[in-house]
Amino acid sequence: MTTSSPDEAERPSLRGYARRPGPGQGQGGSFEEFWRRLTGRGVGAPGGGGGGGGRPSGPSPRASANIIIAILAVAVVIWLATGTYILQPGELGVVRRFGKYVGQPTLPGINYRLPFPIDTLNVVNVAEVRRVEIGYRTTTTAGGVVSKRTVPAESLMLTRDENIVDVEILVQYQIKSAPDFVFRVENPEPVLGTATEVALRSVVGNTNIDDVLTTGRGQVENEVRSFLQRLLDDYQAGIQVTAVKLQVADPPQEVKDAFNEVVRALEDRQRLQREAEGYAADVVPKARGEAQQAIRGAEAYREQRIAQARGDASKFTSVLAEYLKAKDVTRQRLYLETIEKVLPGMEKIVIDPQASGGGLLQFLPLRDGASLPVTTPGAAGTK
């Protein structure tokens, strides 16, 4: 048992005295006083009703409840404020309430949802043009250097004529339905890569190697794009394929030189074929024109000869009719006309031997140095 000295028993206890405000300080002028008032913790003083011989009393139940309510209110306000979110241009928000999709995608700007764990937000950029690579992978270093790595397991495939071809393809796409992209397919981008490989192998497997390497590249791209879009629509992946580009379409490295020779030969054949077609396009129209000209000339000559023959026949018929009417006169006229045709450009004198009885000189040429032929109907060629 511990005893105290009389001095200690008579010394008033300082515990429980409240700090008195100093000069210029009012009641509650310090944080300590404010905290005591908030918590209801009083300090006993001499002559005061502090109870317990001046020992400090604990906070009242009402004050403790007020503190808890204030803390909870601040926490609730902060929790509700976490539901505010901002979407950038080209972004859509997909809100799930307890895991179930509700409403429509939210648009860019300031939006609000119920805080976690009630609502969950997925932000989808629908304006970004994304890409997937089949047969190769590109990586960019920190210095901006782009390196390429081939993936033979994806790029090597068979053609319709049972040849092996090395094909690398780039697919560009956008998200056309944010809810489908988030909910319909798990890991949609790997699914897109697998679907692209399926579409590419299907199209290449139905195409000859010459078409894949040379003239059919554009057709292969179009068919792969159409086939891939049908697959994605069947999957309801919410993806829109915007472009399909063949990056490489070559034979395997082991036989690449031989295939290049074949390609060059095909190009030479096509060049010679185009040159021949150009020459034919130049010569054939000329030959056809000359043939038509010859045909028209022959037709004109035929018509001319027919008309001339008909005219000669008509002339002969008319001369025959006149001859039958006057045979001597007609015979004489025909003779003179024939001599005119046989001796054109010459001066001719016709003498009738019956005119002078036949005993006298019928013609005496008195012109200077003139020697003119003399022709009679009975003796042609006399002078």
pLDDT tens by residue, 51-60 = 444 455 556 6
Round to whole Å and give the CA distance between 135 and 150: 6
Round to whole Å and give the CA distance between 173 and 175: 7
pLDDT of residue 230: 94
Structure tokens at 3: 């005893």
Global pTM value:
0.52
Round to whole Å and give the CA distance between 90 and 107: 9
Q: Give the count of beta carbons closer than 10 Å to the beta carbon of residue 66.
A: 15
| Regions of the chain short of the pLDDT cut 70 | 1-60, 352-383
Q: What is the DSSP string of 195-242?
A: HHHHHHHHHHHTS-HHHHHTTTHHHHHHHHHHHHHHHHHHHT--EEEE
| All structural domains of the chain with their residue ranges | 27-81, 84-125, 130-250, 255-325, 342-375
pLDDT of residue 253: 81
Rg, the chain, Cα only: 62
pLDDT of residue 185: 86
pLDDT of residue 27: 46
- pLDDT per position as a tens digit, 22-33: 444 444 456 566
Round to whole Å and give the CA distance between 81 and 72: 14
Whether 43 and 50 have beta carbons less than 8 Å apart is answered as: yes
Q: Does domain 130-250 have CATH number 3.30.479.30?
A: yes
Whether 161 and 206 have beta carbons less than 8 Å apart is answered as: no
pLDDT of residue 38: 57
Of 344, 348, 345, nearest in space to 380 by CA: 348
Burial of 337 by CB count in 10 Å (0-12 exposed, 13-18 middle, 19+ buried)?
Answer: exposed
Asked if the peptide bond before residue 21 counts as cis, ω within 30 degrees of 0, the response is no
